[in-house]
Structure 1
């Protein structure tokens, strides 16, 4: 009979390419993890992982079995989550990673409200524009812009239609004028954001089926999205920001949208986790809360617009 613990070892080892890494994540000794894998291979009658002193890889049988193993654990986890939600209030801790500008200025009040609703829960926030390694860092779930490159990650959409907005302050536009076409950006001061190890300086625009990619320049660039936004508010240049990051500023007139006749780059917002086993009752409830808050926020201006703490 296949044991659930053995499936967890196999999946973690396959995801990390390392049996020792799987053992660390599951708080097991390497010997216990190795025994679990041997027990699973004996139960299914096939070698699932080819191992040497320096490497580990899935066999053909392992690749086929991995999909079924994930599905089995997903089903068991879903049942456990449903039962847990029925019988108890949320408790424990939840670690969450998110982008700087989004986290500080939009999500933080919503997260405060979420904790007020669930006094037995504690929340640990990691606010940074550096992408967290969900396999190696102590993060349960992450909020990320863009579809994850790693197809093994579970990505649940929160704002799938979100796009970038080209924008600048009224003060900057009064001094320098507004670009009439994407190519005009070459003569403007553009506020660039560092994504990973590269500067995001090739800005893309689409109209009538024709895509224009412009390489922009400027004296200011940073790996912190909130700093880029503040530079734009200070009138130092033109920014190409996520609409979620600047929507309150656009509604209040602190920033003005530019080149509105063009389709801008997509930057959907997802809640991401290494696998569905990490979707604890707290994570599921948090996703539902943030979805409700985002839907209300994006619905349009209302009385008291500009405040981001109205979701309760």
Structure 2
């Protein structure tokens, strides 16, 4: 008889490309995962993986079978969730990935509030500006900036009106002057974000329905968006940041918005792999985060677009 645990280990081994990695997730030995896959192969009478001492890959039969295995597990999960009353206390494990600045300075306290409402819920929180792979990585939801054009996952809006804005500290503006046009940015110290070794030193703006790209230069680069924000607060230069990341600094007077809030759209979403994974915990987290984000973007609406 086919075991559901074996099926789950097959799906995770396929995603991670390793029996050892799948074993670590559930506190098993690699040999136990290998034995589970062998049982599943005997039940199905097919070979799911081509194994070698250095690699593990799906066979053609394994590739064909994988979406059905995922569908079975997702259907069972959906059935469990539907049997649970919406008002029932949330419990279990919720794994959330978020970008560094928003995650550390916004989402972290909001997750604390969410946990206070649902103390039986376990939360694993992953912070990184590297884009999480929601199908391969052990996460349930990811918080992502930008337009979501990939139809393979579900993207739920958190802050559709959010956008990037230019900011600098009062100290920097006194010392170096305030830019009055985008062309003036050439004479200012840009605080430059990096990702995968690429420096984002060409800033895109939306002006009267048109896109304009402005090259910037500076001496400070970081692959952590929170570091870029901190440099701006410290008076090191001009940053081009998500309003959600800098709104507290603006409200407190640590940063000032430049050029009447000129910028570009940067919506924020909560992303999960499949509609069936839209559990009560994810549904309630989405509602809380959207409410909190709307309060912040309402203040952004006061700036000219």
Same fold? TM cut 0.5:
yes
User: Which whole-Å CA distance do the structure 2 matches of 1:238 and 1:41 have between them?
Assistant: 58
Unaligned 5+ segments in structure 2 are none
Q: 1:236 to 1:138 in 2, by over 3 A?
A: same
- Could you tell me which residue of structure 1 aligns to residue 38 of structure 2? 38
Q: 1:197 to 1:73 in 2, by over 3 A?
A: same
User: Which whole-Å CA distance do the structure 2 matches of 1:54 and 1:148 have between them?
Assistant: 36
> How much has 1:79 moved relative to structure 2?
1.8
- Could you tell me which residue of structure 2 aligns to residue 227 of structure 1? 227
> How much has 1:245 moved relative to structure 2?
0.8
Q: Deviations over 1:20-79 (max 9, x none)?
A: 322332333333323332333344444333222222222333223222222221221122
CA RMSD of aligned residues (A): 4.0
User: Which whole-Å CA distance do the structure 1 matches of 2:151 and 2:11 have between them?
Assistant: 14
Tell whether the 8 Å contact from 1:233 to 1:255 is kept in structure 2 after alignment. no
Q: Secondary structure at 1:37's aligned position in 2?
A: helix
- Give the 5 Å matches for 1:20-39: 20-39=20-39
Q: 1:195 to 1:296 in 2, by over 3 A?
A: same
Q: 1:288 to 1:40 in 2, by over 3 A?
A: farther
Q: Deviations over 1:189-238 (max 9, x none)?
A: 11112334333223223446764434321133334433322332344321
1:180 is aligned to 2:207: no
Tell whether the 8 Å contact from 2:75 to 2:276 is kept in structure 1 after alignment. no
- Could you tell me which residue of structure 2 aligns to residue 56 of structure 1? 56
- Could you tell me which residue of structure 2 aligns to residue 292 of structure 1? 291
Tell whether the 8 Å contact from 2:189 to 2:236 is kept in structure 1 after alignment. yes
User: Which whole-Å CA distance do the structure 1 matches of 2:260 and 2:276 have between them?
Assistant: 43
Q: 1:95 to 1:63 in 2, by over 3 A?
A: closer
Number of residue pairs the alignment of both structures matches? 300
- Could you tell me which residue of structure 1 aligns to residue 256 of structure 2? 255
Q: 1:286 to 1:222 in 2, by over 3 A?
A: same
Unaligned 5+ segments in structure 1 are 306-312
Tell whether the 8 Å contact from 2:179 to 2:185 is kept in structure 1 after alignment. no
Deviates more, 1:133-142 or 1:44-53: 133-142
Q: 1:259 to 1:187 in 2, by over 3 A?
A: farther
- Could you tell me which residue of structure 1 aligns to residue 165 of structure 2? 165
> How much has 1:14 moved relative to structure 2?
1.4
